[in-house]
Amino acid sequence: MHLARIHGTEEDKVNCPFYFKIGCCRHGDKCSRKHDRPAFSPTILIKHIFRHPEREAELQSLIGQQCKPDGRGDVDAFLDFFEDMYEELSKFGRLDQLVVCDNLGDHMVGHVYAKFCDEEDAADALQVMNGRYYDEKLMEVEYSPVTDFREARCRDFDEGSCCRGGYCNFMHVKPVPIIMIQDLEDEVNEWKRRDNEMRKRRQRERSPSDSSDEGRRRSNHGRRSKDRGGSRNGRSRRSRSRS
Ligand SMILES: [Zn+2]
Ligand SMILES: [Zn+2]
C-alpha cells in the first residue's frame, strides 16, 4: 500500500520521519508532524541519562566550576556507565541491544536505548525505572518506536566521519568493544543460572514431600544471586545511590 510505504519517510507529510526512525526529533512536542508514540515496544528510551563529557564540561564552566578530575578518562567512565546500565537493565530480562548516543543536540544528548528480546521485560523495566534516580539524575523512561537501529544510526558516523558532528540528528552510537559485551552476556547468564538454581532449591525446601537425598544434596549448593562478587576484571565500580 502506498501509505504504508511512505509512513515515516520524508514523503510522509503526517508522520515525523525523525521520530519514526530515531525516537526523537529536534522540534519535540512542537513538531508540525505527528509523533506516533507506541503504547508498547520492546525498546525503551532512557532520556538524557548518560553524562556526556562535553556537555558536562559546558555545564561546569557555566556555573564557574572546574571539572573534578577523578583520575579516569572519558572512555573508562563511559565503559563503566555502559556496564552498569547493562547489568541494571538485564535484571528485567535479556537485552537485544543497548545503545548510548554520543550526540550533543538538546533533544538527543545522553539518550540510552535498550531493546529487550521480550516486550514484557521492556514494560517491567519502564515501570520500575521511570521516575527513579541514577547517578543523581532523574530517569525519564518512555517506549520508543525504534526497533531497527540500522535505520536510526548515522552511516557517516559509523564510517568514521560525519560533517554534522555531535549536532547530527541521526544516532551517533558510542562504540563498545565486542569482547566487553560478550563478557557482560556471560555474566548475566551466570546470574540467571544461579537464580534458577536458587529457585529450584527453595521450591524443594518448601515442599515437605521432598526428603530425598537428591533434594538435600541440592540444597547445600546454589548461592544467593546477589552474591555476584565485587568488580569484574578488577575494575572498580562506582557506588551510586538509588531511591
Ligand atoms: Zn518531529
Ligand atoms: Zn551524523
Higher pLDDT, 9 or 32: 32
Query: Is 232 contained in some domain?
Result: no
Global model pTM greater than 0.75: yes
DSSP letter for each residue of the chain? -HHHHHTTSTT-SSB-HHHHHHS--TTGGG-SSB----SS-SEEEEET-S--HHHHHHHHHHTT------S--HHHHHHHHHHHHHHHHHTTS-EEEEEEB---STTTTT-EEEEESSHHHHHHHHHHHTT-EETTEE-EEEE-S---HHHHB-HHHHTT--TTGGG-SSB-BPP--HHHHHHHHHHHHHHHHHHHHHHHHHHHHH-TT---HHHHHHHT----TT---S-GGG---------
Nearest to 45 by CA among 181, 145, 172: 145
Cβ(80)–Cβ(235) under 8 Å?
yes
103 C-alpha vs ligand 2 centroid, how far in Å? 8
Assign 11 a pLDDT band (cuts: 50, 70, 90).
Answer: confident
**Is 80 exceeded by the pLDDT of residue 190?**
yes
**Is 50 exceeded by the pLDDT of residue 238?**
no
- Are 84 and 28 contained in the same domain? no
- Neighbouring residues of the ion ligand 2, judged by CB less than 5 Å: 154, 157, 162, 164, 168
- Are 92 and 63 contained in the same domain? yes
- Are 82 and 153 contained in the same domain? yes
- Are 43 and 26 contained in the same domain? no
13 C-alpha vs ligand 2 centroid, how far in Å? 23
Cell numbers placing 231: 568488580
From the CA of 145, which ligand is nearest?
1
- Are 20 and 110 contained in the same domain? no
169 C-alpha vs ligand 1 centroid, how far in Å? 11
Domain count, the chain: 2
- Are 13 and 85 contained in the same domain? no
Range 104-124 average pLDDT: 97
- Are 9 and 48 contained in the same domain? no
125 C-alpha vs ligand 2 centroid, how far in Å? 29
Q: What is the predicted pLDDT for the residue at 233?
A: 43
14 C-alpha vs ligand 1 centroid, how far in Å? 10
- Are 56 and 31 contained in the same domain? no
Range of the domain at 133: 37-177
239 C-alpha vs ligand 1 centroid, how far in Å? 37
Residue 134 phi/psi, 5-degree rounding, is -135, 125
Alpha-carbon gap, residue 135 to 114, rounded angstroms: 18
Q: What is the pLDDT of residues 144-175, one digit of tens each?
A: 999 999 999 999 999 999 999 999 999 999 99
152 C-alpha vs ligand 1 centroid, how far in Å? 14
Q: What is the predicted pLDDT for the residue at 64?
A: 79
Query: Is 64 contained in some domain?
Result: yes
Assign 230 a pLDDT band (cuts: 50, 70, 90).
Answer: very low
- Are 29 and 42 contained in the same domain? no
- Are 98 and 74 contained in the same domain? yes
Cell numbers placing 243: 531511591
- Are 118 and 60 contained in the same domain? yes
**Is 60 exceeded by the pLDDT of residue 232?**
no
43 C-alpha vs ligand 1 centroid, how far in Å? 19
Q: To the nearest whole number, what is the mean pLDDT of the chain?
A: 85
Cβ(108)–Cβ(25) under 8 Å?
no
From the CA of 156, which ligand is nearest?
2
100 C-alpha vs ligand 2 centroid, how far in Å? 14
Q: What is the predicted pLDDT for the residue at 140?
A: 97
